[in-house]
């Protein structure tokens, strides 16, 4: 099990932020490009790969399963894949650290193929539910050789000679469950079908097509989708350009909104509609965000976002929007604290099973910083007064990068500094976060273990 020394950090009220920055490569697309690179025969080239710890764990996983994975330069990677039929049984435990996406997608790969592998991770990953992945994989012929209590990691899976094609309705709106089933379905003779009641990010579907698989998607019910994958495709390597991650761009964007006088431009942010719920919500709150230079990059729509500080009002965020902004609620809660009036974020049950229980962690952090907030069932309600006191004890981040970055952003706009108990996990998704924010004019101090 991996662990990193904690690095307490603190952010203080900032002068106006300004500048043009590019958020790192999208984490979801980065994981998938390495995994599909492994599953195609030949050389896949990736530009703009996120070199965060989560993705580096997936790169090691791809290597352990037989791929040759090389870093050619910053963000520039080459994967020599072995194909679905050529996977090697890893000799050692696959340690995914803090990464839900990497571990769950790789479970799909292993669970659909005739190899056995053991998965493990840090204390956060060890607490996260994996039954949601193991259940469909068992239906597809996989055997769970062993697992920690409740079907958690460390766990060992053995896949079948050929997977059984299934029709599977996901029990939660989760792109990770959908992706694990589709990846296992690559080694199934026939059609694997995934039904989701609420559409989730579609990067796996898009990328499978780019690698030559036959995937069709149709609407299902008012908010859902039905996805069909034709099994046993011959995946061909592809060239992947990874767009900037909207979930990471959300932090400098939020800072620009809440620090008086700021104007920040975020370049090349992916605006896939299944990832842009935060943008929709912020525009409803009256945020001054302008999209320009809309274009396509690497099969995804991207835009430059010009963000200016200004007054914001509280809004009601409907539950059906949750899958399109699931990782953005912590930072939205911070922005809501700076708005005038009540923001109600509905239907947040999935936040309880992320790197931490994000509903509880955000709520506790807000209270510690003098913000009025309450949890009602699966809703988080934040009452903003246009200003945030800050101060108080260090916010507990529970090995959660998004909690860490959210409260540091709060400190940049709050009356008093905001401290967090540990900034180390920021490196899982946004290794240059502190440097990028400092480049915009932010004051963030890290006490120990500062990363370059």
Ligand X SMILES: C=C(OP(=O)(O)O)C(=O)O
Ligand Y SMILES: O=C(O)C1=C[C@@H](OP(=O)(O)O)[C@@H](O)[C@H](O)C1
Contacts with ligand Y by CB under 6 A lie at 28, 101, 174-176, 179, 201, 326-327, 350
Q: Indicate the residue among 225 and 354 with the shorter CB distance to ligand X.
A: 354
CB 158 within 8 A of CB 115: yes
Cα 271-100-242 angle, rounded to 5 deg: 35
178 among annotated binding-site residues: no
Say how far residue 130 (Cα) sits from the centre of its chain: 17
Instruction: Tell me the C-alpha to C-alpha distance, in Å, between residue 419 and each of 16, 303, 395.
Output: 20, 33, 6
Q: Indicate the residue among 205 and 245 with the shorter CB distance to ligand X.
A: 245
Q: Which does 28 bind (CB under 5 to 8 A by kind): ligand X, ligand Y, none?
A: ligand Y
CB 264 within 8 A of CB 256: yes
Q: Which does 417 bind (CB under 5 to 8 A by kind): ligand Y, ligand X, none?
A: none
Q: Which does 429 bind (CB under 5 to 8 A by kind): ligand Y, ligand X, none?
A: ligand X
Minimum distance from residue 402 beta carbon to ligand X (Å): 5
Task: State the Cα torsion 235-236-242-246 to the nearest 10°.
Answer: -20
User: What b-and-e string marks burial along 148-174, b requiring 16 or more CB atoms within 10 Å of the CB?
Assistant: eeeebbbbbbbbbebbbbbebebebbb
176 among annotated binding-site residues: yes
Cα 404-405-408 angle, rounded to 5 deg: 90
Strands, E assignment, 283-429: 288-297, 300-308, 316-317, 340-345, 372-376, 379-385, 418-420
Rounded to 5 degrees, φ, ψ at 87 are: -65, 145
Q: Which does 196 bind (CB under 5 to 8 A by kind): ligand Y, ligand X, none?
A: none
76 among annotated binding-site residues: no
Minimum distance from residue 42 beta carbon to ligand X (Å): 27
Q: Which does 7 bind (CB under 5 to 8 A by kind): ligand X, ligand Y, none?
A: none
402 among annotated binding-site residues: yes
Q: Indicate the residue among 41 and 353 with the shorter CB distance to ligand Y.
A: 353
3 among annotated binding-site residues: no
Minimum distance from residue 203 beta carbon to ligand X (Å): 12
Name the packing angle between helices 401-413 and 358-368 (round to 10°): 20
| CA–CA dist 119, 96 (Å, integer) | 7
- The answer to whether the bond into 154 is cis (omega within 30° of 0) is yes
CB 16 within 8 A of CB 261: yes
Q: What is the largest CA-CA distance in the chain?
A: 61
Q: Indicate the residue among 257 and 325 with the shorter CB distance to ligand X.
A: 325
Q: Which does 175 bind (CB under 5 to 8 A by kind): ligand Y, ligand X, none?
A: ligand Y
Q: Which does 174 bind (CB under 5 to 8 A by kind): ligand X, ligand Y, none?
A: ligand Y
List interacting residues with ligand X (CB under 6 A): 54, 99-101, 327, 354-355, 402, 429
DSSP per-residue codes, 235-267? ----EEEPPBPHHHHHHHHHHHHHSTT-EEEEE
128 among annotated binding-site residues: yes
Q: Indicate the residue among 101 and 276 with the shorter CB distance to ligand X.
A: 101
Q: Which does 179 bind (CB under 5 to 8 A by kind): ligand X, ligand Y, none?
A: ligand Y
Please pick, among 122, 327, 421, 432, the residue that the annotation labels catalytic: 327
Q: How many CA atoms lie within 13 A of 183 on its CB side?
A: 36
CB atoms closer than 10 angstroms to residue 115: 17
Minimum distance from residue 213 beta carbon to ligand Y (Å): 17
Q: Indicate the residue among 192 and 429 with the shorter CB distance to ligand X.
A: 429
The residue whose two tokens read 């995937």 is 215
Instruction: Tell me the C-alpha to C-alpha distance, in Å, between residue 157 and each of 63, 112, 153, 227, 235.
Output: 18, 10, 11, 25, 24
327 among annotated binding-site residues: yes
Secondary structure element (H or E) that encloses residue 220, with its range: strand 215-220
Minimum distance from residue 119 beta carbon to ligand Y (Å): 16
Q: Indicate the residue among 95 and 328 with the shorter CB distance to ligand Y.
A: 328
Q: Of all residues in this chain, which one has the CB nearest to ligand X in the complex?
A: 100
Minimum distance from residue 54 beta carbon to ligand X (Å): 6
Annotation says 327 is catalytic:
yes
100 among annotated binding-site residues: yes
Minimum distance from residue 14 beta carbon to ligand Y (Å): 27
Q: Indicate the residue among 355 and 422 with the shorter CB distance to ligand X.
A: 355
DSSP, collapsed to helix, strand or coil, labels residue 46 as strand
Minimum distance from residue 59 beta carbon to ligand Y (Å): 15
Binding residues for 3-phosphoshikimate: 27-28, 32, 174, 176, 327, 354
Active-site residue list:
327
Binding residues for phosphoenolpyruvate: 27, 100, 128, 176, 358, 402
């Amino acid at each position: 099990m991996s662990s990193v020394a904690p690095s307490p950090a603190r952010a203080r009220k900032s002068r106006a932020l300004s500048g043009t920055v590019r958020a790192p490569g999208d984490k979801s697309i980065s994981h998938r490009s390495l995994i599909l690179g492994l599953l195609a025969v030949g050389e896949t080239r990736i530009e703009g790969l996120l070199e965060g710890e989560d993705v580096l764990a997936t790169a090691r996983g791809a290597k352990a399963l037989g791929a040759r994975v090389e870093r050619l330069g910053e963000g520039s990677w080459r994967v020599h894949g072995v194909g679905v039929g050529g996977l090697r049984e890893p000799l050692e435990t696959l340690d995914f650290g803090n990464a839900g996406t990497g571990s769950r997608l790789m479970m799909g790969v292993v669970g659909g193929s005739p190899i056995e592998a053991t998965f493990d991770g840090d204390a956060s990953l060890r607490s996260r539910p994996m039954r949601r992945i193991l259940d469909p994989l068992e239906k597809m012929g996989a055997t769970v050789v062993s697992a920690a209590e409740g079907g958690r990691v460390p766990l060992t899976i053995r896949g079948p000679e050929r997977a059984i094609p299934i029709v599977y309705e996901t029990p939660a709106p989760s792109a990770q469950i959908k992706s694990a089933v589709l990846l296992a379905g690559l080694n199934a003779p026939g059609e694997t079908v995934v039904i989701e009641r609420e559409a989730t990010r579609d990067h796996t579907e898009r990328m499978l097509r780019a690698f030559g698989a036959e995937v069709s998607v149709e609407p299902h019910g008012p908010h859902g989708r039905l996805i069909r994958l034709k099994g046993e495709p011959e995946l061909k390597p592809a060239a992947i350009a990874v767009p900037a991650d909207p979930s990471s761009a959300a932090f400098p964007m939020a800072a620009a909104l809440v620090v008086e006088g700021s104007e920040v431009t975020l370049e090349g942010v992916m605006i896939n509609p299944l990832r842009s719920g935060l943008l929709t919500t912020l525009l409803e709150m009256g945020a001054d965000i302008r999209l320009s230079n809309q274009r396509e990059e690497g099969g995804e729509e991207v835009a430059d976002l010009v963000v200016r500080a200004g007054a914001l009002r509280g809004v009601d965020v409907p539950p059906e929007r949750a899958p399109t902004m699931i990782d953005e609620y912590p930072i939205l809660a911070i922005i809501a604290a700076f708005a005038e009036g009540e923001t109600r974020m509905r239907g947040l049950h999935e936040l309880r099973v992320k790197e931490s229980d994000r509903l509880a962690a955000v709520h506790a952090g807000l209270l510690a910083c003098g913000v009025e907030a309450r949890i009602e069932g699966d809703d988080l309600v934040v009452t903003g007064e246009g200003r945030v006191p800050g101060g108080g004890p260090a916010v507990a981040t529970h090995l959660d990068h998004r909690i860490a970055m959210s409260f540091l952003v709060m400190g940049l706009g709050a009356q008093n500094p905001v401290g967090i108990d540990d900034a180390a996990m920021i490196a899982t998704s946004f290794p240059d976060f502190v440097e990028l924010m400092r480049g915009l004019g932010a004051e963030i101090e890290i006490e120990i273990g500062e990363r370059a």
